[in-house]
Structure 1
Amino acid sequence: MHKHTIRIPQEQLLFSRQYLISLILPLIAEQVLAITIGLADTMMVSQSGEAAVSGVSLVDSLSNLFIQLFGAFATGGAVISSQYLGQKNQIHASLAAKQLIYVSLFSAVALIAFGIPFRPIILRTIFGDIEGQVMRPAVHYFLFVLLSFPGLAIFNSCAALFRSMGNSKATMKVSLLMNVIHITGNAWLIFGMGLGVMGAGISTFVARSTAAIIMLVMIHKKRHPIHVDNIFAFEWRPILIKKILRIAVPSGIENSMFQIGKLSVQSLTASFGTVALAANAISSALAGFSNIPGNAIGLASITVIGQCVGAGEYRQVSYYSKRFIILVYASVFALCVPMLFLAHPLIQLFHVSEAASTLAEQVLMLNLLVSLVFWPPSFTVGNFLRATGDARFTMTISMLSMWVFRVGLSYLFASFGWGLQGVWIAMYVDWLVRGIAFSSRLINGGWKNKQVV
């Protein structure tokens, strides 16, 4: 990225301001929906007690490891499809889309076959000696989360493809429906039927499966620049799969190692007791709000920067990257500052003990302050680099930073007696290191010549 101001005549820009607004705003709305429903889910489950919240939190932490795998495939497919669209090659973009769906679905089915019979063993292996009152709801919830993975894999893949086309409104609408089904199902099954944590799992399965079916119908329509013909007419294209995996494998390794590191830290958190687990779950859920616009812009950047790279417009990669990062900083500030004043009343919405509420508030307040500075370069800039095809670099930096700083320092700080707050401080050091590395790579132009199509 050029250090001086990048000036490109408006008529030469690949994307208008109106296009970017129409791409980003639905993504923000979709992120708001996801976080809001997640909070509602946690609050509903909290009616069953701290053990239920802790059990669901453990499973969600574990399932995020697998969800990151689907996200990696979706990112790989989105980058390839975006770069093909930048080349005006809709045929190959559509062929790549079909391969993306196959790979994602196969992975989800494999996870079900392995995960269902070994649920208790997996949970004990990762989280250690969990209290029985936490393990029971975790095992029940884990079953339905696993069954929901095929639906989630298909939804994520199709959503990434629609974003590649600049049609984020479509994914927002389906996401809205999915979340309405989820929250309605929760209300009926948890409160009406008295199924507790199991009810939350069933509604997750139904919501994700319904969304997947709708997305498959939509992506089949030929009016879209990227469309999938005859999804049941199986065809395997190794060259396209190799291109997808060139992005997906480094991203998948990066995301998986990142989540394994988080699970290692979560295991440490579990050793602090149920109060710390509940406080961690609440703090994580609320902290996600400040990241909503940044996550949305990061998703949008894959479409924009990917197409710029496909068209060979490297100056526009730098142009849009600079504007995106400024926008992310502005949005994080706009959300974190008000939440500093709303932290206490928001935490009181959760039905947990006073000790858990107090700890959650302490953790959340520091997180909001740190996010103002360190979050944008650590997360948003990484997406810029992946969109160019520079996924191997982001993988290497993320893995090293995660294990050396986030995991290593968590255990070190725990030995100092810092408890849950020490775990979060270790995470902030990880943010700082990754942000510096990613920003340096973007500025010095090391991402160039990484085009993958």
Structure 2
Amino acid sequence: MLLRFKAWTEACLNKYFTGETMDYRQIFALYFPILIDQLFIVGLNLVNTAMISSSGVAAVSAVNMVDSLNVFLINVFVAVATGGTVVVAQYKGSGNGLMVSRATSSSIAAVSLLALVIGMLIISFHHPLLQILFGSASGEVMSSAKVYLIGSGISFVGLAVVQAICGALRGVGKSRASLALSLIMNLLYVLLNILFVAMLNMGVMGMTIAINIARFAGAACALYYLFRMDHTLHIRLRELFHVPFSMLRKIMFIGLPFAAEQMFFNGGKLLTQVFIVSLGTYAIATNAIANTLAGFFQVPAAALSLTIVTVVGQCIGRGHVDDAKKFIRSFLWLGSILLLLSGLIFFPFFQPLVGLFNPPAEIVDDIFALLLLTAICQVALWPVSFVLPSALRAAGDSKFTSISSMLSMWLFRVILGYLLAIPFGMGIMGVFIAMNCEWGIRGLIFLWRFRGKKWYKHKLI
């Protein structure tokens, strides 16, 4: 019986996850380190949010407000790093080691410089930014938000270096090394939060100090690995200060549309956060906790959306379009299965999970309702809305995916979310209903694109 099951499993894996470009063993060797990485990132964020909850609802609200702005800004340079990952993956697939090295150094230099500029702007204009976006927040919340925003801006360069190097390592298939670097940074962040927030009761200031030490220490480790331990990318220090325009143009072909998408996409989420602030401190906390828990449920599928960039990038680099199509379909079905399983596994533990955040009793039922809605809808909608565009982008189809995401975000999540939450009086539930509707619309657009031929006709390398 056991041998029969093993043979059936082997046959299924070969049927859906093996092609000319790579087999299922290589794909899952990429996937599992990324999965562990994402589990740690989301899990540690959950622990950090729970720790800051001990400092009160105002502290949670301040961190959540600033993090909504941070996500908007960080994803701009992470998008450029993704462009680097795609170019590195395609050159790796084509077997051109020299161009893999040049693409990696160009990506690190471009992402770091962009992060430095964004961080300096945030530090310089933190006060007007917070007043414009969150002026209706209470004085206590606003004071904590200023401290956290300035500290976040300082840390951007450290995070950018880690993201760029990890992205390049994933592009060549070295997801274990990427995992190790990410774990160093994130585990250090949690340990320092335990010291500064939980033990020394330093609140938001403690979290700010922790994030800076962790990100710059992570950057130092990433650079040390790149120059002293890596035997694949062959990067030298002086290459980081000489970026060929032709290589930068290839990275920006993917990175700039994605960066614009992230700005508009997360700008929409930021605008949504603005009218959530007007609903009160409890509404901010409800949104923060529900989103954190929903992100935890989505970790297995989110790891697929990162893995597929390397898989499809290398398929297209080798000219194996049929492999790319096959793997994309398999990843979409696997994403839905994983989301269904994560909901079934974690929902019975809702009470102890939400208890980590010490929420007021008045909002616990609201958090449950938001999570239940998301858990049901995401099984069908999340993979086509997030995994599929990652695959299209890896093939070079960045402009279409970015424009589609921007339009769906603003037409449905932002406008519909505002109408349902404020004029129709549905509050946070209206915001989450609009979010799930937007996933569905965006997913249908990407499925239509995938059924055609234009998405794999781009000549990136």
The C-alpha deviation readout for 1:22-69, integer Å capped at 9, x for no partner, is 110010000000011101111110111000000000011000011111
2:410 counterpart SS class: helix
Q: Distance in 1 between matches of 2:433 and 2:118?
A: 33
2:401 corresponds to: 394
Trace 1:28-39 onto structure 2 (pairs within 5 A).
Answer: 28-39=35-46
1:215 to 213, 217, 222: 222
1:411 corresponds to: 418
Post-superposition shift, 1:8? 8.3
Q: Distance in 1 between matches of 2:109 and 2:17?
A: 40
Q: Distance in 1 between matches of 2:443 and 2:240?
A: 44
Trace 1:6-405 onto structure 2 (pairs within 5 A).
Answer: 13-221=20-228, 224-231=231-238, 234-405=241-412
Post-superposition shift, 1:221? 4.6
1:4 corresponds to: none
- Greater shift, 9-18 or 30-39, is seen at 9-18
Say if 1:310 and 1:451, in contact at 8 Å, map to a contact too. Answer: no
2:62 counterpart SS class: helix
User: Is the alpha carbon distance of 1:12 and 1:62 closer, same or farther for their aligned partners in structure 2, counting shifts above 3 Å?
Assistant: closer
- Greater shift, 231-240 or 74-83, is seen at 231-240
Q: Distance in 2 between matches of 1:10 and 1:370?
A: 26
Q: Distance in 1 between matches of 2:19 and 2:396?
A: 23
The C-alpha deviation readout for 1:278-299, integer Å capped at 9, x for no partner, is 0100001000012111111111
- Greater shift, 145-154 or 113-122, is seen at 113-122
Say if 1:269 and 1:277, in contact at 8 Å, map to a contact too. Answer: yes
Q: Which amino acid aligns with 2:55?
A: S
Say if 1:128 and 1:267, in contact at 8 Å, map to a contact too. Answer: no
Q: Distance in 2 between matches of 1:41 and 1:223?
A: 32
Q: How many residues align?
A: 448
Q: Distance in 2 between matches of 1:48 and 1:448?
A: 51
Say if 1:329 and 1:376, in contact at 8 Å, map to a contact too. Answer: yes
User: Is the alpha carbon distance of 1:91 and 1:276 closer, same or farther for their aligned partners in structure 2, counting shifts above 3 Å?
Assistant: same
1:331 counterpart SS class: helix
The C-alpha deviation readout for 1:190-225, integer Å capped at 9, x for no partner, is 133221111111111111111111111222258533
Q: Which runs of 5+ in 2 are unaligned?
A: 1-13
**TM-score, structure 2 as length reference:** 0.94
Q: Distance in 2 between matches of 1:338 and 1:12?
A: 32
1:25 counterpart SS class: helix
Q: Distance in 1 between matches of 2:297 and 2:359?
A: 23
User: Is the alpha carbon distance of 1:233 and 1:377 closer, same or farther for their aligned partners in structure 2, counting shifts above 3 Å?
Assistant: closer
Say if 2:393 and 2:401, in contact at 8 Å, map to a contact too. Answer: yes
Post-superposition shift, 1:343? 2.1
Q: Distance in 2 between matches of 1:429 and 1:157?
A: 33
Post-superposition shift, 1:231? 4.4
User: Is the alpha carbon distance of 1:423 and 1:231 closer, same or farther for their aligned partners in structure 2, counting shifts above 3 Å?
Assistant: farther
Post-superposition shift, 1:112? 2.1
2:450 corresponds to: 442
Q: Which amino acid aligns with 1:410?
A: G
Q: Which runs of 5+ in 1 are unaligned?
A: 1-6
2:163 counterpart SS class: helix
Q: Distance in 1 between matches of 2:192 and 2:296?
A: 23
Q: Distance in 2 between matches of 1:337 and 1:448?
A: 36
User: Is the alpha carbon distance of 1:269 and 1:12 closer, same or farther for their aligned partners in structure 2, counting shifts above 3 Å?
Assistant: closer
Q: Which amino acid aligns with 2:426?
A: W
User: Is the alpha carbon distance of 1:227 and 1:355 closer, same or farther for their aligned partners in structure 2, counting shifts above 3 Å?
Assistant: farther
Post-superposition shift, 1:232? 6.8
2:338 counterpart SS class: helix
Say if 1:344 and 1:361, in contact at 8 Å, map to a contact too. Answer: no
User: Is the alpha carbon distance of 1:425 and 1:9 closer, same or farther for their aligned partners in structure 2, counting shifts above 3 Å?
Assistant: closer
Q: Distance in 2 between matches of 1:443 and 1:255?
A: 25
The C-alpha deviation readout for 1:106-160, integer Å capped at 9, x for no partner, is 1111122211132121112122322111101111111211111001101110111
Say if 2:78 and 2:163, in contact at 8 Å, map to a contact too. Answer: yes
1:15 counterpart SS class: coil
Q: Which amino acid aligns with 2:439?
A: W
1:421 to 429, 434, 449: 429
Say if 2:162 and 2:182, in contact at 8 Å, map to a contact too. Answer: no
Post-superposition shift, 1:11? 8.6
Q: Which amino acid aligns with 1:416?
A: F
Q: Distance in 1 between matches of 2:337 and 2:30?
A: 18
**TM-score, structure 1 as length reference:** 0.95
Post-superposition shift, 1:336? 1.3
User: Is the alpha carbon distance of 1:21 and 1:233 closer, same or farther for their aligned partners in structure 2, counting shifts above 3 Å?
Assistant: closer
Post-superposition shift, 1:9? 11
Say if 1:276 and 1:359, in contact at 8 Å, map to a contact too. Answer: no
Q: Distance in 2 between matches of 1:258 and 1:86?
A: 31
Q: Does 2:439 correspond to 1:431?
A: yes
User: Is the alpha carbon distance of 1:226 and 1:190 closer, same or farther for their aligned partners in structure 2, counting shifts above 3 Å?
Assistant: same
Q: Distance in 1 between matches of 2:166 and 2:265?
A: 23
Q: Distance in 1 between matches of 2:174 and 2:49?
A: 31
- Greater shift, 247-256 or 165-174, is seen at 165-174
- Greater shift, 339-348 or 297-306, is seen at 339-348
Q: Distance in 2 between matches of 1:383 and 1:112?
A: 27
